[in-house]
Chain A
Amino acid sequence: MIGKKTEKSLKQTYIFPMVRRTLEDYYEDMLRCYKCSYCRWVFFPDARDERFVYQCPSGDAFRFLAYYASGRMEIARGIVEGRLPWSKTVEHILYTCTTCGACEALCENINRCHPLQIIEKLREKYVTEIGPTPAYKRMMENVKKHHNLYGELDRKRFDWLPDGINPPKNAKIMYFVGCTSSYRQKEIAKATLSVLNKLGVKVGLLYNNEWCCGGPLFRGGVTAVAKESLKHNIQALERSGAEKVIFTCAGCLRAFKEGEEYGLAPPRFEVLHALQVVSPLLKDLKNQLKPIEGNVTYHDPCYLGRHLAPFPIYEEPREVLRLISSKLVEMPRNRINAFCCGGEEGVREEFAELAVETARKRLAEAKTTGAQTLATACPFCVQNLSGGSKEFEGVKVEDVMMLLDRALQ
């Protein structure tokens, strides 16, 4: 039973989500969840195939109610009311969430309990009271020391730059590469720069002034370090005179859009995904594009879709793919219903098996479409799906920018 003290101390008035700051502020949202379970599955009218109707990667894997958003709401309530102590199981339940936002998107249509926001606030509280999990501690230390997630040397961030190409440090349009494209999926960064050059878009780079965007740390509840890192990037980009900043990493794009929620001043530049920039430029070049072979299907990255609601980026990648492929086929779960690839950095680091299993499920879905290429627009997705694709021969995972680069040759 709720202690009277607890209940009284909770705010009873409605607070608009954008200005909510603490887990306790979400208390009434937790009460309001009546376990309608809409958060578990695809938006029902869009259900096309009984094999692909599940939406929550962690719930689908562990099946206990606690691993679905509605169960996590109950855990949050238990924590707020002091009925549930922190434990390793709570940590497991919290951090196996891939923060794909499917629950948040579907609840928005039903009851607006904000499950994802609550999970993130719960993680924040966990970090404050217990400390970051080993994976996030590692990431946090890496960001503090080397300004990237992977603990790589800061000076090697732009090693991927092809010889002889030296974009300026100051430009009206800046390209924010991100840790994963800089250190792990370098082909995406190379392809992006190449595409932009071919289309006549001159961009600048921050070089060593580019730090981790803080996105993965925001997701993991390590907000202080994330905020500091993001703030640095915003200031550096503003100093460079940027009017537009282009991203190829959906996670970075999302991080730049959420700074305001954490009290940062809104950036004085426009934040865009690279596909939003190149898509309109390609229309006149249709006849000059060399089509890629075979059918293509597109995986919507969570941070480019549901996380950007109400302005998700669903159509631009598809417009590009329609121009460069013979046939674009859709997976049963697409756009708002897109199943997560499992590539959230915290999950990959800490629960590799879950990340790979989730990727396999997505790849199995891609395979049913008969597509030879699974395109996406986020280096985290490319990284994780590629890891799981070894057993799915015939489905090649690539970033749209890489495909476009080849098509423009």
Chain B
Amino acid sequence: MADQDLINRLIDIVGPEWVSEDPAVTIAYSRDMHAYIRFGWETRRPDIVVLPKNSSEVQNIIRVARGFKIPVIPYGSGLNIFGWTLPRCGGIIVDLARMNQIIEINEENATATVEAGCPHFKLQSELLKRRMFIHQPGACSSIYLGSHFTHGCCSKATARLGHIERQIVGYEMVLPDGTMLRTGSLADCRAQKRIWPHGPGPDLGHIPRYAEGALGIVTQVTIKCHPLDENVWPFWVAFDDIDNTIKAYIELLHAEVCTGSSLYAGFKYIGYFSDSPEVAYRQNKIHPEFMLILSLQGTKRRIKFEEKVVREIANKYGGRVITDQLPFYQMFVDSHLNMTSSLYSEYTMRYFGYPGTVGAPGGMVWAPIYDVAEYWKRLTLLYMNDPVLGDPDESDFEVNRSMILYPSQSGHYTLIEAAIAGHPVDPRLIKEIAPRFAEKFVREITDMGLAIDAKYGWTRRGEIGTISSYSELASKIKTAFDPDDVMNRGVWSIF
């Protein structure tokens, strides 16, 4: 039961209609997709939910919470599968649903400033009117822009626009002591004591990134905008074996063509773009095992040149350019542009986002691209030997065993989206198969010399940093920012 004095203080800040401690209201915030992995469907309910309207209300809420030493959990659209917003120790949920305004679209500087609760698609639809877009690989259209960049469970990148976090050029963030931190474009360059956008001192411009709300609540973001391309063309190259696919992929990367690229195996996405399950099944059967989904874009002349290079590489490694054989179908084109993480088609930008694509329970695997072939072979063996997944009567082996490979700029790693044991929201797979399969999967990953990463999954031991030193330093930063451990308490302990 929440302290009445605390509730009154919160009511003073936001008004009575925007504070609730009623169990019927708080229960809605008690679960996300992480709950099934971590807590066996158990829920964690907040004590109070509060909906602020602006940054200064957020500031006041945090100050009050700090006085009462009660945890504060920022809440975006609610879509995440890692438990970032689960109130582990109860506390106050700060739901940003009311902070949803587009503050400014600056066409001259190509930036957009929005409140943290502004949904992705809302900004995107306004930008498209101006022939611009924001680069958001891996983002579901419904996510709030503030929380997406803060949580950042995906690190997809494209060759031209780069890594997702570099799209943010300014944060406004309320720190655990109620201080307002403004970085980058949002920093006040006219202040009496002038600073440059990220300093002096270390770059705090991305301090909220991956902090999962444990270092404060992001209230505004300024995002880089990009002009739409003159032309976009999807290009699919199919291969029969993984080794040749990887070789061709590496050569394409060396040639610095195709602004967007991804490798699909198993092709689990096909179901989303089929009219019926039967069509999905047939398409799964006729599609090749390995597919490089590439996007050529820019001027028409540039596309012509890239197409020539891609065809040469495809021929060299026995690939078949199957785009030539398929009828033009807008949904296919757009969906595949989506898959390549290059979101330049207008329709794709509007539609983009397929929640639940991160496989359970392995999720994202980071690996150097030359490790992928072995990874795939081991995954295949695991499936074949599993009593359910390997049984043709029980499971669609070809569909469930899938893998998607995206380029990532973090240490030149690739990001493997491992759809282990099928769609992660199938309760049967989650409850019965995934736990058994996960254990074996972890063993294989370890055998390959990959180790668990502190945040997102797996990486090669020693190449990014050992867990202990990473976590230790992160804890020190957390203590310095938030000595009372008010902000999203326990959120970093999920792995």
Chain A positions within 8 Å of B, measured between CB atoms, are 1-2, 12, 28, 31-32, 34-38, 40-41, 44-50, 53, 63-66, 68, 70-72, 74-75, 77-78, 83-85, 87, 89-90, 93, 110-111
Contacts and interface: CB of A to CB of B under 8 A. Distances in A.
A217 B481 CA distance: 55
Contacts of A68: 28
B350 A31 contact: no
A74 B121 contact: no
> Lowest 8 CB-CB distances: which A-B pairs, in order?
A71-B28, A35-B78, A37-B142, A47-B125, A66-B28, A45-B350, A89-B24, A65-B28
Given A63-B18, A65-B95, A110-B355, A78 B27 contact: yes
B443 to A, nearest CB: 28
Interface stretch (B30-38, B130-138, B151-159, B384-392): B30-38
Nearest to A29: B427
A50 B122 contact: yes
Interface string B1-26: 00000000000000000101011110
A34 B77 CA distance: 11
B356 interface: yes
Interface residues of B, number: 51
Contacts of A41: 119, 121-122, 142
Contact of A64 (B25, B33, B39): B25
B27 A84 contact: yes
Given A53-B119, A75-B24, A84-B24, A35 B32 contact: yes
Contacts of A66: 24-25, 27-28
B104 to A, nearest CB: 13
Contact of A34 (B23, B42, B81, B125): B81
Nearest to B128: A47
B425 A32 contact: yes
B122 A47 contact: yes
Nearest to B347: A45
18 contacts: A1-B43, A36-B142, A37-B79, A44-B352, A46-B350, A47-B124, A49-B125, A50-B122, A50-B123, A53-B119, A63-B97, A65-B95, A72-B28, A74-B27, A74-B30, A85-B23, A93-B24, A111-B356
B24 A87 contact: yes
B229 interface: no
Given A34-B33, A41-B122, A84-B23, 5 more contacts: A1-B41, A12-B428, A32-B425, A64-B20, A65-B25
Contact of A74 (B28, B98, B125, B353): B28
Contacts of B204: none
The listed residue with most B CB atoms (<10 A of its CB), out of A37, A68, A72, is A37
Given A40-B142, A47-B122, A34 B32 contact: yes
A44 B351 contact: yes
Contacts of B142: 36-38, 40-41, 44
Q: Pick the most buried of B41, B125, B126: most chain A CB atoms within 10 A of its CB.
A: B125
A83 B24 CA distance: 10
Contacts of B122: 41, 47, 50, 53
A45 B40 contact: no
Contacts of B369: none
A2 B28 contact: no
Contacts of A34: 32-33, 79, 81, 355-356, 425
B102 interface: yes
Given A1-B40, A36-B356, A66-B27, A87 B22 contact: yes
B435 to A, nearest CB: 16
Nearest to B430: A31
- Which of A31, A35, A41, A48 has its CB near the most chain B CB atoms (within 10 A)? A35
